[in-house]
Amino acid sequence: MLKAGDKAPEFNLSDKNGNTVSLKDFKGKKTVIYFYSKDNTSGCTRQAKAFAELYNLIKEHNAEVIGISKDSAVSHLKFAEKYELPFVLLSDPELDAIKAYDVWQEKKMYGKTTMGVVRTTYIIDENSVIEKAMPKVKPDTNAADVLSFLKGGAEG
């Protein structure tokens, strides 16, 4: 797992419209990158809707929100339209960013061990350095926890 103080790995991924988006596009802003497993699943939908609800408040702290999963750009487009998500969703089917940010890990479910995305959020500062790493976040409180951190800085 990456930690506070680490340089955030650069990425070039497609958004829901097929445009290439890079971390460097957000230089000068804080960037909230949350990794989730799949569009339209209950936990991931609750998490996305919570970020959508708090999006304007997060932006007030000079921060942008990016959701990354291995879903396709087409899936992201439908997901964003269905739930009116105002932030960037990036498609990472090759797991480039997912592995670079160390969120592709063993998961145990129903007694089976599989590899998958562990729900993780990183808050990255204006110079692409990780300010806060939030492993195994809860979908219902993740956005509020991010906002709380942005309001209180390192204490949040």
Active site residues: 44
Q: Which residues contact 136 (CB under 8 A, 6 or more apart)?
A: 118, 119, 120
Look up residue 50 and give its amino acid. Answer: A
User: For residues 81 and 132, what is the distance between their CA atoms, to the nearest angstrom?
Assistant: 29
Local structure of 81: helix, strand or coil: helix
Phi, psi angles (nearest 5°) of residue 122: -120, 135
